[in-house]
Amino acid sequence: MDHPDYLDAVKNARNCDQIQGTNQFKLARSLKFLKSVLRNLNKTHFSGITQQVKEQAAKVSDLQRQLLSQPSAATARLEHAERAKWHDSGSTCKPESYPLSSGLGG
């Protein structure tokens, strides 16, 4: 439900008015159509999540190394934003497991 096309895809797949037959047949056909629609949505928008999380984790790690070697407020803001993206991208790792000692305080 986090994707903007999800509700439209479900509404279009549930359009039983165009299917002829009993209510049970209409339901079965609409669910069968919905399955392919959701698979396609999943394949086009959510595949490769593991790789995306790894890439985002690498970005965060690089920024944290920069903060340790050359602390700056701009890098700290960028690291914070990238870490939020990484955390939101489905990472099960906790940010506490990656020490952040930028020397900027806070």
pLDDT digits (tens, 9 = 90+) for 29-80: 888 888 988 898 888 877 788 888 888 899 999 999 999 999 999 999 999 9
Q: Quote the tokens at residue 4.
A: 């903007």
* Residue 59 shares a structural domain with residue 80: yes
Inter-helix orientation angle 73-88/49-69, to 10°:
160
85 part of a folded domain: yes
* pTM score of the predicted model: 0.46
Tally the domains of the chain: 2
106 part of a folded domain: no
* Residue 61 shares a structural domain with residue 36: no
25 part of a folded domain: yes
98 part of a folded domain: no
Provide the domain limits for residue 12. 6-46
Map tokens 């990484």 to a residue.
Answer: 86
